Structure 1
Amino acid sequence: MDRVRETGPPSTASAQAARELQIGVGVAPEAFRARETYAALDLGTNNCRLLIARPERRPRRRGNDCLRIIDAFSRIVRLGEGLGKAGRISEAAIERTIAALDICREKMEARGVTRSRLVATQACRSAANGDEFIERVRERTGLRLDIIDRETEARFAARGCGALADPAAESVLLFDIGGGSTELVWLARERRNDNGAYAFRAWTSLELGVVTLAEHFGGRSVSTEIFAAMAQQARESLTPFAQRMANERRCPRFHLLGTSGTVTTLAGVHLGLERYNRWRVDGLWMSDDDASRAIMRLRAMNFEERVANGCIGPQRADLVLAGCAIFEAIRGLFPAPRTRIADRGLREGMLLELMEADGALTRGA
């Protein structure tokens, strides 16, 4: 397989990616006045994330409608903390999460949200008291969360960041390393069409994430042996899907497309950022060697150094190496010369589907 490196500096690629989503830029054209304000909330095992947006239509450029982000919120709540051993969401995790959801509700009210999709994923899927927690959220905040299945989660992630896939590639492996699960989606171009979209060919979802792996092996002090054991467990979990995909066509431009805190953190470390900068990370191409060096740099840090790093911080310091181990397993089973980094995914996918259902955006945005 030929090695394909990014053309142009990382900042150029990232700026282009930001323009594709039009985050916080410009005013909707006079030709299209959105009557709806949309919100998407993703409550995962580790994070609570909210995105509020309006559609922005570009009537002269077919298939290039986009989101105009007007507000966002993200907080690490660790909803799944201790879930692997107890089988239940703890009271402390419930209170932390409800506090974050209250902020989300206030933001949605302040922005006049008229259409929303609010979802919960792996922690609520697997917890014995998942439904009970959802009801408590409704009673305390008025928010109605839907627990979505794994296929829906994978589909939303693919919809949200698929625009970043190389349009010249015949196939792409999308992966989303979450707190309690990891989704992989094989995207394939079956035929060229007007908007260059990929087909959702195959997918898998594993009950393996940064929280579950770190709680099992420990995340503060990670020796070479512990890291290897984490990567091996991830590899064993991923192998059946890799075998399924072994005969899928891979052209020289085949690449990985990653969306998660793991890969965005790695990108920030690779760029040497003092503080995380979404504009430089979203859309960044990292070569296989770049990824290896960033992982080695992270593994060389002790816990205190990871806490002090502006792209990691105290809330991710004990989780990031577990994510790196999963990423290593993915790279080993699906070798590719480069990975594109997406600081977008599930929420953007939900927003796009909501807007398309209303006819506010054209398919292919």
Structure 2
Amino acid sequence: MAPFTESGLGEAAPARVGEDAERQGRRPKPVYAALDLGTNNCRLLVATPTAVGFTVIDAFSRIVRLGEGLGSNNRLGEDAIRRTIAALRICRDKMRARRVTRSHLIATQACRMAENGPRFVERVKRELDLALDIVDQRTEAHLAAAGCAALADPLADNLILFDIGGGSSEIVWLDKAGEGRPVSERIRAWASLPIGVVTLAERHGGVSVTDSVFEAMVAEVDRALSQFKIDVAPLARCKNFHLLGTSGTVTTVAGVFLGLQRYERRRVDGLWMRRSEVDSVMASLRAMSYEDRAANGCIGRDRADLVLAGCAILEAIRRAFPSERLRVADRGLREGLLTQMMAADRVWTEATA
């Protein structure tokens, strides 16, 4: 993925990118927006291209729990839809204020699963004039890889990349051979597990999680991983590989490890953790009460009932693919979407021509 920087996040920033350029008769930079609507979160990034990457000029993230109760009735609930539309309205207003010239807005597992997913998309178009694209599992896995691949250790031969979501979890075997080719051409195998933190917590409970409940969650994920483990059997002969994880679960583990009172993306994204360090944090999280988790600045009440389900998914992956090193990514689908759009528009080719 192309490198990127952040600006204007939490600071006073120009409301309209390109106004100065317009006044001076220059063509303003194109402005791109990428939105990822998942089972649990609604996330937006707005960015402008640079010579070799892009600069994030605005961002938004809100827990909406669109997939709440989806596992029991296969439908998106009205309360969840209202929460989500309220978040999407904020995203729409941000994109308008930033004069976005190109966007790709995707919806993932909750809308894929729900009987009324297509009708929800129609409602969003009607009420907000936003066009959501319900993407398939393959696209989601490839976007996650495109968004995070820049954090791969250049000295490693292979890596297992994973994205723990609210309703599904994507896992990819990325081969370092042929570096320089598009990420999609280096994917040796991938899988989309129909298990995420929301669905797992709803099935097993997330407020009070005993050791037996935690192990039951790990076992469920391990069963879902069975075919992927067969697909990546040649990886067992490779000793020089590492794990690369992106998700609220992995960034929470990193934040707790760093002892952050409040989550700081700049300290978390790209952090390396040793196996023993992950073990220690996971044990600490499992020992916390629900109230302790809710009071932790890196977890909060919105995610206190989901974080141990995420830890169970992470633990199943770590047991299936033992590695001494885990790299943490606070990036993913949105960055993959931005990279994909800018590459298609050849903005970097034009900048260096």
User: How does the TM-score come out when normalised to structure 1?
Assistant: 0.88
Instruction: Output the CA distance in 2 between the equivalents of 1:306 and 1:295.
Output: 12
Give the SS at the match of 1:22: strand
1:4 match = none
Give the SS at the match of 2:216: helix
| 2:232 pairs with 1:260 | no
| Unmatched runs of 5 consecutive residues or more in structure 1 | 1-16, 58-64
Instruction: Output the CA distance in 2 between the equivalents of 1:334 and 1:308.
Output: 32
Specify whether residues 235 and 361 from structure 1 end up closer, same or farther in structure 2 by C-alpha distance, changes over 3 A only.
same
What is the CA-CA distance between 1:115 and the residue it aligns to? 0.3
1:47 pairs, out of 28, 41, 46, with: 41
Instruction: Output the CA distance in 2 between the equivalents of 1:244 and 1:362.
Output: 36
What is the CA-CA distance between 1:23 and the residue it aligns to? 2.0
2:312 match = 325
Specify whether residues 145 and 210 from structure 1 end up closer, same or farther in structure 2 by C-alpha distance, changes over 3 A only.
same
Specify whether residues 362 and 242 from structure 1 end up closer, same or farther in structure 2 by C-alpha distance, changes over 3 A only.
farther
Task: Render the CA deviation track for 1:226-256: whole Å, top value 9, x for unaligned.
Answer: 1011111111111221122111365443100
Instruction: Output the CA distance in 2 between the equivalents of 1:171 and 1:206.
Output: 21
| 2:223 pairs with 1:236 | yes
Specify whether residues 132 and 101 from structure 1 end up closer, same or farther in structure 2 by C-alpha distance, changes over 3 A only.
same
Instruction: Output the CA distance in 1 between the equivalents of 2:220 and 2:107.
Output: 26
What is the CA-CA distance between 1:97 and the residue it aligns to? 0.2
Q: How many residues align?
A: 337
2:149 match = 162
What is the CA-CA distance between 1:139 and the residue it aligns to? 0.8
2:72 match = 85
Maintained 8 Å contact 1:306/1:314: yes
1:144 pairs, out of 131, 138, 142, with: 131
Instruction: Output the CA distance in 1 between the equivalents of 2:129 and 2:174.
Output: 37
| 2:10 pairs with 1:23 | no
Specify whether residues 304 and 192 from structure 1 end up closer, same or farther in structure 2 by C-alpha distance, changes over 3 A only.
closer
Give the SS at the match of 2:235: coil
Moved over 4 A (4+): 192-198
2:288 match = 301
Specify whether residues 169 and 256 from structure 1 end up closer, same or farther in structure 2 by C-alpha distance, changes over 3 A only.
same
Give the SS at the match of 2:106: strand
Instruction: Output the CA distance in 2 between the equivalents of 1:194 and 1:86.
Output: 43
1:187 pairs, out of 165, 169, 174, with: 174
Instruction: Output the CA distance in 2 between the equivalents of 1:197 and 1:137.
Output: 31
1:105 match = 92
Specify whether residues 166 and 289 from structure 1 end up closer, same or farther in structure 2 by C-alpha distance, changes over 3 A only.
same
Query: 1:318 corresponds to which letter in structure 2?
Result: D
Instruction: Output the CA distance in 1 between the equivalents of 2:98 and 2:233.
Output: 47
Task: Render the CA deviation track for 1:5-27: whole Å, top value 9, x for unaligned.
Answer: xxxxxxxxxxxx9x9422229x9
Maintained 8 Å contact 1:169/1:254: yes
Instruction: Output the CA distance in 1 between the equivalents of 2:196 and 2:228.
Output: 16
Instruction: Output the CA distance in 2 between the equivalents of 1:346 and 1:362.
Output: 23
Instruction: Output the CA distance in 2 between the equivalents of 1:301 and 1:294.
Output: 11
2:13 match = none
Choose between structure 1 and 2 for higher RCO, CA contacts under 8 A separated by at least 6 residues: 1
| 2:69 pairs with 1:75 | no
Maintained 8 Å contact 2:169/2:195: yes
What is the CA-CA distance between 1:150 and the residue it aligns to? 0.4
Query: 1:23 corresponds to which letter in structure 2?
Result: E
2:103 pairs, out of 116, 125, 140, with: 116
| 2:273 pairs with 1:290 | no
Instruction: Output the CA distance in 1 between the equivalents of 2:346 and 2:50.
Output: 12
Give the SS at the match of 1:138: helix
Instruction: Output the CA distance in 1 between the equivalents of 2:142 and 2:181.
Output: 21
Give the SS at the match of 1:247: helix
Query: 1:133 corresponds to which letter in structure 2?
Result: F
1:315 pairs, out of 290, 295, 302, with: 302
Maintained 8 Å contact 1:239/1:333: no
| Unmatched runs of 5 consecutive residues or more in structure 2 | 9-16
Instruction: Output the CA distance in 2 between the equivalents of 1:355 and 1:322.
Output: 35
Maintained 8 Å contact 1:169/1:251: no
Maintained 8 Å contact 2:142/2:184: no
Query: 1:295 corresponds to which letter in structure 2?
Result: M
Query: 1:92 corresponds to which letter in structure 2?
Result: D
| 2:118 pairs with 1:131 | yes
